[in-house]
Amino acid sequence: MHEAGIARSIAAALRGRALAGRVVRLRVRGGHHDPGEFEAALRTHLRIEAPELDAVPIELVHEAVPRLCVGCGAEFVAPGADDPCPTCGGASLPLQAHEQVEVELVG
């Protein structure tokens, strides 16, 4: 699973930082996966890669991404991989295929 590699990169970026009293916000864009499934897998891998983060609040924000309807060709913006086309109700593909994760420290 590619979530393991993403978790490894996040853990490396956060190691050695003063995180007490802060929130780690992960902004996720793109991907083919259901946002809930991606989040669950990422959190599992983060626990393995960086158990010290268990005490730090981690907030995942799934941002809407451009999508393309495979049925009618309409472009629209939606956060979920399974969000149907608002024009025809058909399935869609993300125009940004892989998840991109931006790490923010809040507080």
pLDDT in tens, 4-31: 999 999 999 999 898 989 999 999 987 7
The domain defined by 2-106 folds into: hypothetical protein PF0899 fold (3.30.2320)
How many whole angstroms separate alpha carbon 88 and alpha carbon 85?
6
Q: Name the band, by pLDDT with cuts 50, 70 and 90, for residue 32.
A: low
Q: Name the band, by pLDDT with cuts 50, 70 and 90, for residue 81.
A: confident
Higher pLDDT, 28 or 81: 28
Q: Which residue has the tokens 């993300």?
A: 94
What residue ranges in 1-107 does DSSP mark as E strands?
A: 23-29, 58-63, 65-69, 75-78, 92-94, 100-106
Q: Alpha helix locations (H) across 15-75?
A: 35-49
Give the pLDDT confidence score for residue 99 in this predicted structure.
Answer: 82
Could you tell me the pTM of the whole model? 0.79
Give the pLDDT confidence score for residue 26 in this predicted structure.
Answer: 96
Give the pLDDT confidence score for residue 80 in this predicted structure.
Answer: 74
